[in-house]
Structure 1
């Protein structure tokens, strides 16, 4: 099986209300949809690269929102949002529901109308999904990997794991090193200091658990 990272560009009429609001709101540039459920009536968990007050204003764009709880963390804000509908375009939702692939968190939405996500499946099913999605959105394939079963043994946060993956992608761990913290920050669309802190915490977690035997099978 394969694990494919996709990038898409949403036309305004197909974008989620929060995605549209991102482009109009100062001080915020991205939202990461971390956890969602299989039904329309669901509590989702998202992360925004801004303060709680700005997030609360952003969430007013969701007409089906019935309750929200905000928690500052990881240089941004986590949002637990209970809603009675996803408010995505029906054609996009129908495609996601019928696809013979599964989707891995996070789904990251950017202020410029683009989004990134990963899907896992057999090559033929991923190709079919890519073709069908291309009839609705401007879509591109950014990375393709073999899928490997396994959890996150170092108990990394989603942001820390994304930082490590970005570091590998830009050559930060190559020997000799070909990538920089600045390049990692560009991949994550965050400040250099934030990228550096995420890498240090992730590396500390991995090294600590390796040396105490937690990562040795």
Structure 2
């Protein structure tokens, strides 16, 4: 049995909403409606766009995310061939679907390598497909089954990611530290306060994403 995460570049509704935006969706489809978890910027605008696409029954906004129960299921009102290909090749979709950076990310379980190969070829006829992660499943951790990198890591902006990784590489997180925010700022040609703001935002997102797995 194999688990694989596909990146599908397509022109679907949710992918268009995330194109060139610091926003990501997680979608749990329930046939008659969807549960959406939205993270990132421009939440009011995103809410309006989702209302136009599938309608909204109810929503709840917290500090870090926007939860939405839609009026309709997106798959039911769009021509989404992914589900059709999964059914045809005896593969299983592992929810949630994820949308970010103008692409859809689908986690799939294939019962054998041939089914996985055939599925990839079929998807390639309709989408630009990239395999992000692939592994053979030998056992399941029952407390956290099939957790992937995409589930744990938050959606950092490109600048937050660059500054955070540079800080790590320069030894900012070592004990004791090998560098300062002034030195990191010199690498990017920006001021110290901007670096510290990028780091605080990145660290806050990472801490909130990881913390739930310790509960």
Between the aligned partners of 1:159 and 1:132, the Cα distance in structure 2 is 24
CA deviation after TM superposition for structure 1 residue 3, in Å: 0.7
Pick closer, same or farther for the CA change 1:129–1:45 going to 2, 3 Å: same
Q: Count the aligned residue pairs.
A: 171
Are residue 18 (structure 1) and residue 14 (structure 2) matched?
Answer: yes
Check whether the contact 1:159–1:198 (CA below 8 A) recurs between aligned residues.
no
CA-to-partner distance for each residue in 1:113-140, whole Å, 9 max, x for gaps?
A: 2221210012111111011001111111
CA deviation after TM superposition for structure 1 residue 198, in Å: 2.2
Q: 2:64 aligns with which of 67, 75, 81?
A: 75
CA deviation after TM superposition for structure 1 residue 150, in Å: 4.3
TM-score by length of 2: 0.64
Alignment of 1:162-181 (within 5 A): 162-163=151-152
Are residue 55 (structure 1) and residue 49 (structure 2) matched?
Answer: no
Structure 2: which 5+ runs fail to align? 154-167, 174-200
Partner in structure 1 of residue 29 of structure 2: 36
Check whether the contact 2:33–2:70 (CA below 8 A) recurs between aligned residues.
yes
Alignment of 1:148-187 (within 5 A): 148=138, 150=140, 152-153=142-143, 162-163=151-152
TM-score by length of 1: 0.63
Structure 1: which 5+ runs fail to align? 165-176, 183-189, 206-217
Between the aligned partners of 1:74 and 1:152, the Cα distance in structure 2 is 30
Are residue 143 (structure 1) and residue 162 (structure 2) matched?
Answer: no
Pick closer, same or farther for the CA change 1:68–1:120 going to 2, 3 Å: same
Pick closer, same or farther for the CA change 1:160–1:71 going to 2, 3 Å: farther
Q: 1:103 aligns with which of 77, 93, 98?
A: 93
Alignment of 1:88-99 (within 5 A): 88-99=78-89
Are residue 119 (structure 1) and residue 108 (structure 2) matched?
Answer: yes
Between the aligned partners of 2:204 and 2:132, the Cα distance in structure 1 is 25
Partner in structure 2 of residue 172 of structure 1: none
Q: Which has the larger radius of gyration?
A: 2
CA-to-partner distance for each residue in 1:76-99, whole Å, 9 max, x for gaps?
A: 111111316523325445324433
Check whether the contact 2:17–2:102 (CA below 8 A) recurs between aligned residues.
no
**Larger helix proportion, structure 1 or 2?**
2
CA deviation after TM superposition for structure 1 residue 100, in Å: 0.9
